[in-house]
Each structure stands twice: as structure tokens, then as C-alpha cells.
Amino acid sequence: PRFAFDFVVPLKPGERIPLPCAGAFLINSDVYRELGCWDTRFFLNDEDSDLFIRAWQQGWTCVTVPDAKVYHAVGASNAQQTVGRRRYISTFASKSILGVKYFSLTALPLPAAVWAVRILNNLLKLRGRYLLWEWSVLREILARLPSALAFRRANARWTRERPGQVFFSAPDFLG
């Protein structure tokens, strides 16, 4: 996202932010259930974006509570498995899935354009390994597409009223 945000600047209590870090936030359990909980098809990264686009679409906001203490075991799962390739594939597939789930019809080509630019960039820089991984990204997108389209149909009202691409350029988050 194009959020203009400096992570080293202290935030005031109650200051509105686009979304929290998935590993360090609190949410009311009733709101969490109302939003439909985590989409468990996200392996790693962007599950927080997915949840908070839904929250934003329904008028919920995310605010800072600087005095709250949240502890996160960063990298705890990395010792159990090699996640580099899987993270790459999941991260970039998830970005396309966010587009499918939330973007208006006119903005749907954006995630595909980003994918094409990434392929071109890897091609120009002769990054063969990443070019091979891009085919796995495409396979994951295609595997997740039916559930993303079902979600889109079930939540068409929200996409019409507050298309997801607007979340990424909302004036309150552009500094």
C-alpha cells in the first residue's frame, strides 16, 4: 500500500491507522466474528490487510494504544521450516487474491499488472529462480480463485459501496 507512515514516529493514543500488524494487535471478539475471522487460506503476510479491508468497508477503524504491551515471538516458526520460497509465493499470490476479493471491476486488472511488472523485472535482472517461483504464484492464485470469487459474490454490496482499492489510497492514510 502507498501509506505514508513513518514507523519510528510515536503515535498519539487513539490515532487512526489503516491496519495493525497481525502479530501485535487486539480486536474485540464480537467484531472479529462479525468480520468473518481470519481467512485461513493466507499462509503468511496480508492476512491482516484482508481482515482490515473488511473492517474498513464496514466502517470500523483501527487506532493506536501506545501504552498497550503486546509480545510477539517474531520468527518462531522459521526454526521449524524453511519459509523463504513459501513466503514469496504466498505473499504475491495473496496480493492478487486481495484484488479479486475487494477491488471494483475497473480496478481488477491492477494485481495482474503488478504481477506482470514483477515478472518483467525478474526477467530483466536474470533472476531465474524467482521467475520459476512466479509460476507457483500463478498456481496458488488459480487454486485460491474459486474461494475468492465466492467471497466476492457473497460480499458484493461492500465491494460496490467501498471498493477495496480505495482503502490503499484513503486520504486519512496518505500523510
Q: Which residues of 76-113 are buried (b: 16+ CB within 10 A; e: fewer)?
A: eeeeeeeeeeeebbbebbbbbbbbbbbbeeebbeebee
What's the average model confidence in pLDDT over 164-168?
89
Cα 65 to the chain's mean position, in Å?
22
C-alpha cell at 85: 520460497
Q: How many CA atoms lie within 13 A of 123 on its CB side?
A: 7
As a whole number of angstroms, the distance between CA 25 and CA 52 comes to 12
Over residues 11-47, the pLDDT tens digits come to 789 888 888 877 778 899 999 999 999 999 988 788 9
**CA-wise closest residue to 93 among 163, 27, 41:** 41
Q: What is the pLDDT of residue 149?
A: 96
What's the average model confidence in pLDDT over 55-63?
90
Q: For the whole model, what pTM was predicted? A: 0.82
As a whole number of angstroms, the distance between CA 91 and CA 46 comes to 7
- Torsion angles phi and psi, residue 62, rounded to 5: -115, 130
Positive/negative CA dihedral, 44, 45, 47, 48: positive
Quick one: DSSP state of residue 115? H
Quick one: DSSP state of residue 107? G
